A and B are shown apart, each in its own frame.
Chain A
């Protein structure tokens, strides 16, 4: 191994690490606010990438029908709840968010032929299809169980993951796809060539992380999420709706996931089930951070990316083993240095 190879491996590791960092942040966010270990996070990566790829192949992505279907289901359940609760005033809101919004998105997709639009517009449309699925999944699968134990929520996560992977296979087929890169540019950096897309991944990740930081520090909604994360009951007594916090965190997680997928789709082939492994590595990073600290999660993600990249050079057959074994020393160290508060009993 010489310096050249080390640099190339380092570059590769940091690019992958940036994606894992985004996913780790989303996982930490969702867990902190709702106590859900969000295994389906990876599915949003695949849905985002493959929806965009479907546009570029001139097809109507199946996720569009999922959005419409989930919207109708959510609207149906919420309407019944609203009428029962004697609050018909909520119906207007329900109709707007769960029926009108998906219908508008569907109308745009079917009418515009997204494959012919500029890339930025395609990305916006793909996000418009995938991101609303986040709060809808929360409404259908998690909200009725919001007070359940972490274990129950984890089991629900597994179920949601399997359902979404199955739907992914149905929508996109077994074979993978790639999308056109955001930029074809190449830069020479000493002996190293850097692709435009690589810079896009790094830049977008950095911007997103800073934006999240600002969101939590400066906005009312961000502070509401933090309050819920720190003390659910306390936050509720101060008038912060747990349901709102849950939906908002799932919207953010879906948005981060889908956008990560769109970022990596030009550099690697994305399959209907790619997201799971990518999400799992984000999860390793989130574990390193103890599922609480954002900066530690980002650092852990870079570590996972680098470890993966270098181990694929030295011992490619054991790459996954090495990456996932990382959890064990981290857990040992965590359990030795932190004191436990049993949540249930």
Chain B
């Protein structure tokens, strides 16, 4: 028995040292806990990524952080010190990603976040020079909404959002831009992801009689205020954020979500994009791969953020290989430089053009306005 386990240990030690020459990618997703609806499609996406890049074998080590910041920090350290990864991709949510910035910079390892907040990569300083991210900033999405509101003669807006970093971030960005556009914010309410009733908030909002209401929540919980608003007879425009862009939202919200407007990454309506749009092909490529593995209609925009992180990596590896062998300090530094030099990379969510001051690299091609019609996402021109 003891000899057997010794052999097993020796063999596994052997495979570890053999694998050392491969490119090791450490992935951290929030596949359980409150952000699970975002983390699970991301986790699924890593299973679809290429196993060889530029002739080198790639090993993905996927860990779960349970949407918890402490666990995210612990697992990032584990990836960096024990698995000696060449790059960290993660995490799903902003608080975790912010906590990881210090650790990745300390280990001089590039990190690609899949979380939304601009603070993760902005401003690019000594620490953040190692950090990149794929999802659009909230500002970009807020501008899309206020633009649409402005064009549709909306004068007064009420806001209801999650009582967490997501809702708070949206409130700050959105209210700032809306004021600039001379729109009046008449109410600002909060609700919890797990709430079973939002009657109080909805009544308060309706007593201010706004032209439009923005609901800042992610996933199916964002359907609750909308259903309550319709039940109480609200007739104005309802806007949602890109956080709801998955098919479960349509399933839960049903007919109460008809006519809802939201900004989203182009991947959500890829098939409806004009052929001239450069993003169409790359987005459809991802959708095809994902739905082949998980059934039609299963794709979500969150998984596409993970896919884009993979594309950034695959695009940067060839240049980095010229600098050093995978596993070496030179390779990691080369990878960072190559990521920063990304130019015209067509991905599922837009076109990436990184610069030393912009580690997101997306422009207005990374967002479209979408309307829910007949239980489907419909692109607005």
Residues of A within 8 A of B (CB): 5, 8-9, 12, 15-16, 19, 166, 169, 173-178, 264, 267-269, 271, 273-274, 276-278, 308-314, 316-317, 319-320
Chain A facing B: main interface SS: helix
Contacts of A316 in B (CB 8 A): 160, 163, 189-191, 200-201, 204
Q: Mark B238-259, 1 if CB is under 8 A from A, else 0.
A: 0000000010110110000000
> Which of B37, B200, B249, B252 sits near A12, CB closer than 8 Å?
B200
Asked if A269 and B223 sit within 8 Å, CB to CB, the answer is: yes
Task: For the complex, give the distance between the alpha carbons of A186 and B360 in Å.
Answer: 51
How far in angstroms is the closest Cβ of chain B from A24?
15
How far in angstroms is the closest Cβ of chain A from B240?
15
Asked if A313 and B203 sit within 8 Å, CB to CB, the answer is: yes
Residues of B within 8 A of A (CB): 32, 34, 36-37, 39-40, 160, 163, 189-192, 194-201, 203-204, 207, 219-221, 223-224, 232, 246, 248-249, 251-252
- Given A268-B224, A269-B221, A177-B200 contact (CB < 8 Å): no
Q: How many A-B residue pairs have CB under 8 A?
A: 98
Known: A16-B196, A309-B197, A313-B200. 4 other contacts (CB 8 A): A175-B37, A175-B220, A175-B246, A177-B251
- Given A173-B40, A174-B36, A174-B40, A278-B196 contact (CB < 8 Å): yes
- Given A309-B200, A313-B201, A320-B221 contact (CB < 8 Å): no
Contacts of A174 in B (CB 8 A): 36-37, 39-40, 219
How far in angstroms is the closest Cβ of chain B from A101?
32
Contacts of B195 in A (CB 8 A): 268
Contacts of B204 in A (CB 8 A): 313, 316
Among B160, B192, B199, B224, the most chain A Cβ lie within 10 Å of the Cβ of B199
Among A264, A267, A316, the most chain B Cβ lie within 10 Å of the Cβ of A316
Considering only CB atoms, which chain A residue lies closest to B39 in the complex? A174
Asked if B248 and A319 sit within 8 Å, CB to CB, the answer is: no
Considering only CB atoms, which chain B residue lies closest to A320 in the complex? B192
- Given A169-B32, A316-B190, A271-B196 contact (CB < 8 Å): no
Contacts of A267 in B (CB 8 A): 196-197
Among B39, B194, B252, the most chain A Cβ lie within 10 Å of the Cβ of B194
Contacts of A317 in B (CB 8 A): 163, 189-190
Considering only CB atoms, which chain B residue lies closest to A5 in the complex? B203
